[in-house]
Chains A and B, each alone.
Chain A
Amino acid sequence: MKILYRFHDGKHLPIVDIKLKSCDGWYNTRAYVDSGASYSLFHADVAEILGLVLESGELIEMTVGDGDSLKVYIHRIKIICGGEEFTASIGFSKGIGVGFNIIGRKDIFDWFIVCFHEQEKFLELTYLNRTASNTFGAIVSTRYTL
């Protein structure tokens, strides 16, 4: 799937649509794809929207860019990203210093080959079909939608 970068105030940013399963449907939002982030990270109020009890997740401490640590609660939830539905570990925190939701590598990058086309301003997500007999996955499709 080919996803055009989002345009904000003169800059093109690798921001994609993502759906998170909530207690009564799906929460549709957008998130910044950050290949340097170990985990996907959403603000704590998203956990509330989804009907999750924040502190019931697995608590981990993440180190952020300036060396500070951040308390993050990891929940396993169903998501739809790149047109595919699967379960992923998603972190929620009250201490995120930027407004963006962030898509990091854990689980999500296991399901896709992720290619940043900076010059052309698009992100390419190629879904890997994972089965028990094919743990490394096989490229099943490259779909192009603009």
Chain B
Amino acid sequence: MEIVPQKYAGQYVAWVDGNIVSSGKTQLEVFNSAKKLCPEKEIIVEYAPTKKELITFL
């Protein structure tokens, strides 16, 4: 399973075919960017937590 590189901590990333194709501060901008780049592909958006968020009381 692919792992989000640490440089994206605190951001959302969009995966397409196992590659990160966009990143940013909101899911909306990341999804829309990925959709423009890869309109026919399956996009998976996920959040890369910061160090602080790794130990979370939700």
Q: Is A117 engaged at the interface, CB distance under 8 Å to the other chain?
A: no
Contact partners of A9 in chain B: CB under 8 A: 6, 9, 49, 51, 54
Contact partners of B3 in chain A: CB under 8 A: 7-8
One of A13, A36, A45 near B27 (C-beta < 8 A) = A45
B interface footprint on A71-111 (CB within 8 Å = 1, 0 otherwise): 00000000000000000000000000011111000000000
Closest to B29 in A: A45
* A32-B58 in contact given A9-B6, A45-B28 (Cβ < 8 Å): yes
Contact partners of B44 in chain A: CB under 8 A: 17, 28-30
* Nearest CB of chain B from residue A56's CB, rounded to whole Å: 18
Q: B residues 4-46 with Cβ under 8 Å of A?
A: 4, 6, 9-12, 26-28, 31, 42-46
Q: A residues 33-49 with Cβ under 8 Å of B?
A: 34, 36-37, 43, 45-46, 48-49
B58 touches A37 (CB 8 A): yes
Interface size on A, residues (CB 8 A): 29
Q: Is A114 engaged at the interface, CB distance under 8 Å to the other chain?
A: no
Q: Is A6 engaged at the interface, CB distance under 8 Å to the other chain?
A: yes
**When A and B form their complex, which 4 residue pairs have the shortest distance between CB atoms, in order from nearest?**
A45-B28, A30-B46, A99-B47, A28-B44
Which A residues are closer than 8 A to B by beta carbons? 4, 6-11, 13, 15, 17, 27-30, 32, 34, 36-37, 43, 45-46, 48-49, 65, 98-102
Q: What are 30 contact pairs spanning A and B, CB under 8 A? A: A6-B46, A7-B1, A7-B3, A8-B3, A9-B6, A9-B49, A9-B51, A9-B54, A10-B54, A11-B55, A13-B49, A15-B46, A27-B45, A28-B44, A29-B44, A30-B45, A30-B47, A37-B58, A43-B26, A45-B26, A46-B27, A49-B27, A49-B31, A65-B58, A98-B49, A99-B11, A99-B53, A100-B49, A100-B56, A101-B47
